Amino acid sequence: NVIIFGESGVGKSSLINMLSGDDNASAAVSNQALGCTFETEPYRVTIDEREYVLWDTAGLNEGSKGSVTADEACEKLVHLLQQLRGGVHLLVYVVRGTRLRSIVKINYDIFQRVVFRGQVPIVLVATGLENEDRMENWWDENGGDLAGNGLQFDGHACVTTTKGKRLKSGEHMLEEEYAQSRDLVRALIKE
């Protein structure tokens, strides 16, 4: 059981679709500022002949005008944890690869320190880095700040979860970066 969590709009559902290899979008995605995941949904993904169940959670921090309030998101998480058989094996914290906001630490503390009491490995996936010359630069620039603020991760991946525009050739502009990103996150989960 792998729980995917993070703020609304950071690309949790896009990450799940990328990992599943399903271009038919098994997890609902949205370009809206407000999230589109209302319920916690399971998605089965096979990585190197081993099945993982990825749980797409309601976006955190949508505010009072969001489709899921903070209280509802927390209630859904508690309900999920009560229903899971076999426990939780990994937390995947998805953040948008832009300027880090204070809410990143607050959400980390809620999940890692309060809910799971540091007993579950946690990794970070930074999305939205398709315009970077080298996506890993994001970690080089921000990893120290995260650690300095008490956010410790068991691994990370700096990725894009979009293939970009379709070219006349039928290929997508970011096909190679997308494939590399999928391989990075799959290896992170497996490890």
- Going by C-alpha positions, the residue among 126, 148, 155 that lies closest to residue 11 is 126
pLDDT of residue 68: 54
CB 160 within 8 A of CB 136: no
pLDDT at 60: 67
Closest by alpha carbon to 40, among 87, 76, 83?
76
Sheet holding 90-96, edge to edge: 41-47, 50-56, 2-5, 90-96, 122-127, 156-158
Sort strands 50-56 and 156-158 into parallel, antiparallel or unpaired.
unpaired
Number of H helices, E strands in the chain: 5, 6
Specify the pLDDT at position 180: 96
pLDDT (0 to 100) of residue 7:
86
Output the pLDDT for position 85.
78
Domains and their CATH numbers in the chain? 2-190 (3.40.50.300)
Residues 188 and 191: their CA atoms lie apart, in Å, by 5
* Tens of pLDDT, residue by residue, the chain (191 residues): 999 988 888 999 999 999 988 654 455 544 443 444 445 778 999 999 999 999 988 776 644 444 555 566 666 677 777 778 788 999 999 999 987 778 888 888 888 887 888 889 999 999 999 999 999 999 999 999 999 999 999 999 999 999 988 888 888 888 999 999 999 999 999 99
The pLDDT, as a whole number, for residue 130 is 93
pTM value is 0.85
CA separation for the pair 177, 180 (Å, rounded): 5
Q: 45 forms bridges with which residues in the sheet? A: 52
pLDDT at 111: 82
pLDDT value for 27: 52
What integer pLDDT is reported at residue 141 of this predicted model? Answer: 95
Q: Where are the beta strands (DSSP E) in the chain?
A: 2-5, 41-47, 50-56, 90-96, 122-127, 156-158
